[in-house]
Structure 1
Amino acid sequence: MTLRTLLAVILLGLSTLHAQAQQAADEHYRHVLTDFIRPGFAALAEEANRHAAEWAAYCQAPSPEGLAALAASFQSLADRWAEVGIIRYGPSSQDFRNERFAFWPERKNAVERGLGALLKHPEALDPATIRRQSAAVQGLPALERLLYADGQPDAGLGSDPEEGVRCTAGSVISANAAGLAADMAAGWAAAPGLVTQEVRAQLATDIVTAYAILKDQKIEAVMGKDEDKVRPHAGAFWRSGRTMRDISQNLAGLAAVSALLFPYPPDDIALPHTTKTALGIAETIDDLAATAGNTATRNEAVLLRDAVTAAADRAIIEVPSALGVTIGFNSLDGD
């Protein structure tokens, strides 16, 4: 075999390997799109519609049973969002739908200030008005603020004219949230089947970012550097008592995605295992904020933080490789 022939064979082999790698990356992306993103956003839209209907029913005839059903519906909707809200690109980002549906982390008490302004003008509480307002009053955080008081569903909601205004606000905001969820679901359902390097990179960036948000903003921000620096109100959805539930559902979503990216992981792929490990630890913790003065709970929180850190470290390496891309930042860094 001549040198020229040998080089041709090598180049052909490399080209074949590259084509096979790209084909595998495209297939990984399609699995996540078809088996996680599309059904996840469809379920979100369905739950958002159900929640809006619960608001309308409760406000028409307030009762303890109706309030319990409304709160349960809120928790189910927040669960669906925690699972699929890790996907932030594409139809999720169009028209700032992601931020409008779940404005978090909250800055400068934006939800409270926005709701205060809305409730002063009940005559303006309609879907068109809500869509023109700050993202802080268009979705789940605003609904949580209206529905919960002192960690429990507010028994006074809708009980008098003043409370009735809050009920009306909840009905309008929940209808707006249902519209946003429907738009996201429709956008993903219509997303083109053609896979490009750009969309693979966007998916990889969102997955890596989701691990970073969990570690930095949802765990470390609450537990602090030591027991004296615990910040319960830094947690997501602390008013409705679902800070840990939100973390667990985030990890459940990430575990589902990692299983689709690595259905038969070789020995050198650790992400599915590390994510499941973190999820298992999260499901044993009732209250992440209860780490002040409680050594056992503090130790559990440290285990969770370390497990999520390990998963995040693997995600940075393994997710871009599975999707055939290189990323140098997460979506929180800007570009």
Structure 2
Amino acid sequence: MRHRLPLLLGLGLAILSLPAMAEDVDEAMPPRAGLKLEAVPGVMQKAVDDFIRPGYLDLMEGTQSLAEAAHVLCDKPSEETLGDVQMTFDEVVQQWSTIEIVRVGPVIEGNRFERFLFFPDRKSTGLKQVQRIVATRDETATKAETLKGKSVAAQGLGALEYVLYGTGAEVLSSERNGFRCRYGAAIADNLKSIAAELHGEWEKPDGIQSAWNAPGPDNPLYRDGNEAATELLGILVHGVESIRDQRLRPFYAGIVKGEPDKGHPKLAIYWRSGNTMPALSANFTALQTLFNAADMQALLPDDRRSMVRAINHVLQAIVDDADQIDLPIDEAIEDEEQRVRLNRILQNTNDVLQRLNLDFGGAIGLGAGFSFADGD
């Protein structure tokens, strides 16, 4: 499995400054107390060039490899070609788990996010749709052109995971050009198409990257540096919240009413493929990478930068614990040592959320009553 996050961490962060833009922003609106407004354009540009664009490039390349492997499996089914698809699926899960924290911009247009990953699947509505397609052998699901018109739950990573690992998946290694494989290949083609669209949108010099790099009065997204800095911090805050509330708590809530949670492993994301904790680790590694690659400490007053080390420490502790949970998630919940790690992950997730939301947010002038949900 390729792990390209270290490459992101190692990228050079030397970006040309934009003093003229910073001056325009200063004139448009005074900075909040504490926010180094002159640093905002450079921080936003680093976020784009050193995290977002490389992330979508990785995703595009990964989905291209996945689609190719899926078509090879259909044409030449074997345990080896099935293993190739499953390994490439794991890589795409890692790549998506890295960039999915950026829930703004092109990914939220045209239901792209939900088409790529429909989760959580409350009441198993999406799963039932996928199972129905497989059971009825709906041929319209075997072409990406017609698949994309179906429910978002039937065309993304969750659907492909069921195809590769769900009930009946054993036919994939022996049945040439069978329905199940052709459905899986169509999903892979669909993922490839979405990833290419996202990469293309972020590569346009006059598109969203331009709006991120130059906040100002004429900017359609960010009228000033205050709004831009809030958006970037909001990605981190919402990222931690969604991981906690949609990925962690549904399958393991820690201590509930004084008693350890028995857990609900089948509510965990990617439980069939064993990617629950690798994906969680990739999520938190991505948050840490974005925080550092964008050089967000540059937004802080000099006397408040000590919090950066604390934020990094907690994020790294979460990643370390997640990487040590190497059992299937149902077994991990039953294992005392692994439960200790899960409890610690939950505690540290709450800790880092407070540090980002209250400490960092407060240091750049977001008051105690500010809500990322409504922009107050």
Please, which of 252, 257, 282 is the counterpart of residue 290 of structure 2?
A: 257
Does structure 1 conserve the Cα–Cα contact (< 8 Å) formed by 2:144 and 2:187? yes
Match of 1:146 in 2: 163
Match of 2:56 in 1: 41
Match of 1:241 in 2: 274
Please, which of 110, 116, 125 is the counterpart of residue 95 of structure 1?
A: 110
Amino acid at match of 1:59: C
Secondary structure, aligned partner of 1:133? coil
Amino acid at match of 1:138: Q
Does structure 1 conserve the Cα–Cα contact (< 8 Å) formed by 2:321 and 2:341? yes
Does structure 2 conserve the Cα–Cα contact (< 8 Å) formed by 1:147 and 1:154? yes
Does structure 1 conserve the Cα–Cα contact (< 8 Å) formed by 2:115 and 2:156? yes
Shift of 1:158: 5.7
Which runs of no fewer than 5 residues in structure 2 stay unpaired?
Answer: 1-26, 216-221, 299-303
Does structure 1 conserve the Cα–Cα contact (< 8 Å) formed by 2:98 and 2:282? yes
CA distance in 1, matches of 2:322, 2:153: 28
Match of 1:126 in 2: 143
Please, which of 307, 322, 338 is the counterpart of residue 268 of structure 1?
A: 307
Is 1:80 matched with 2:95?
yes
Rate the CA distance shift 1:111–1:15 in 2: closer, same or farther, 3 A.
closer
Shift of 1:271: 1.7
Deviates more, 1:253-262 or 1:220-229: 220-229
Amino acid at match of 1:207: L
Amino acid at match of 1:146: V
Please, which of 209, 225, 243 is the counterpart of residue 238 of structure 2?
A: 209
CA distance in 2, matches of 1:24, 1:291: 44
TM (norm. structure 1) is 0.85
Deviates more, 1:115-124 or 1:87-96: 115-124
Identity of aligned residues (%): 25
Rate the CA distance shift 1:303–1:322 in 2: closer, same or farther, 3 A.
same
Rate the CA distance shift 1:316–1:228 in 2: closer, same or farther, 3 A.
closer
How many residues align structurally?
A: 319
Please, which of 32, 37, 57 is the counterpart of residue 47 of structure 2?
A: 32
CA distance in 1, matches of 2:43, 2:361: 11
Please, which of 283, 287, 294 is the counterpart of residue 323 of structure 2?
A: 283
Amino acid at match of 1:130: L
Does structure 2 conserve the Cα–Cα contact (< 8 Å) formed by 1:222 and 1:289? no
Rate the CA distance shift 1:85–1:20 in 2: closer, same or farther, 3 A.
closer
> What do the CA deviations read for 1:212-254 (whole angstroms, capped 9, x no partner)?
1222222222223344531101111101011111111101101
Is 1:174 matched with 2:215?
no
Please, which of 98, 104, 111 is the counterpart of residue 126 of structure 2?
A: 111
Secondary structure, aligned partner of 1:156? helix
CA distance in 1, matches of 2:171, 2:39: 56
Match of 1:308 in 2: 349
CA distance in 1, matches of 2:59, 2:43: 23
